[in-house]
Amino acid sequence: MGSPVLTLSSAAQAGLRKDQIYALTESGELERIGRGVFVDPTRIDPAWTSLAAATALKPAATLCLTSALVHHGLSDAIAFTTDIALPRGSRHPAGFHHVSWHSFDPDTFHAGRTVTDQSGLMLAVYSAERTIIDCFRLAHHQGADQAYEALRRWVRQPGNQPSELLALAAASFPRNLPRVRAALEVLL
């Protein structure tokens, strides 16, 4: 196998039958992550397993919210699920028991979205700035404390520029700019 992630369709292209995939799963060589998607657990960091599997089915899959905060060192939360965003209107893949799916506006979906190489896989993660804005934007679901704590940690990290955070908010999320600006003014 070339990739540490295998879908039933990519397995068929590689000459593997369904029964062979299920036999590899039974023996523990592969792990089923969602309906029709499997990973080689020895070849991928467990922190990236759900995102890698989701990306195999939906290339737009992007790590977001609490999971992205943890990735950027802006939260110590121990999440039981991985937060993954898809453009609104996209169907969420079935059978992912450890994923919380989120639907983001297609017009702003790519704002602050970066791609990183993990175990030879190109996986998307929202930038720290975008994630902080999303936490303020979705504070009614996520809780405002998480947004303020993430912003507090972000401001303390060397090299971060509040002007970049405000520019992203102004360009892509203007309705949330006043809230982000007010929180920054308190911290600075």
Whether 47 contacts 62, CB under 8 Å: no
Distance CA 147, CA 135 (A): 5
Q: Is 112 exposed, middle or buried (0-12, 13-18, 19+ CB in 10 A)?
A: buried
Q: Which of 68, 9, 13, 59 is nearest to 38 (CA)?
A: 9
- pLDDT at residue 2 tops 80: no
Please tell me the number of Cα atoms within 13 Å of 16 on its side-chain side.
18
* pLDDT of 3: 85
pLDDT above 70: percentage of residues in the chain = 99
- Cα–Cα distance for residue pair 92/118, rounded to 1 Å: 22
Rounded-to-integer distance, Cα 130 and Cα 172, Å: 10
Residue 134 has pLDDT above 90, yes or no: yes
Cα separation of 109 and 179, whole Å? 20
What's the pLDDT tens digit per position in 149-168? Answer: 999 999 999 999 999 999 99
Q: How far apart are CA 116 and CA 124, in angstroms?
A: 6
Residues facing residue 101 across a β-bridge: 84
- pTM for this structure? 0.93
* 8 Å CB contact between 84 and 67: yes
Q: What is the mean pLDDT of the chain?
A: 94
List C-alpha distances in Å: 176 to 80, 150, 172: 28, 16, 9
Residue 131 has pLDDT above 80, yes or no: yes
- Residue 183 is predicted with a pLDDT of 95
71 sits in the region (left: phi over 0; alpha: psi -120 to 50; else beta) called alpha
Domains of the chain in sequence order: 1-43 (no CATH), 44-187 (3.30.460)
Question: Quick check: 1 pLDDT over 70?
Answer: no
**Position 40 pLDDT exceeds 70:** yes
Structure tokens at 124: 């998307």
**Which tens digit of pLDDT belongs to each residue from 53-102?**
999 999 999 999 999 999 999 999 988 999 999 999 999 999 999 999 99
pLDDT at 187: 87
pLDDT tens for residues 170-183? 999 999 999 999 99
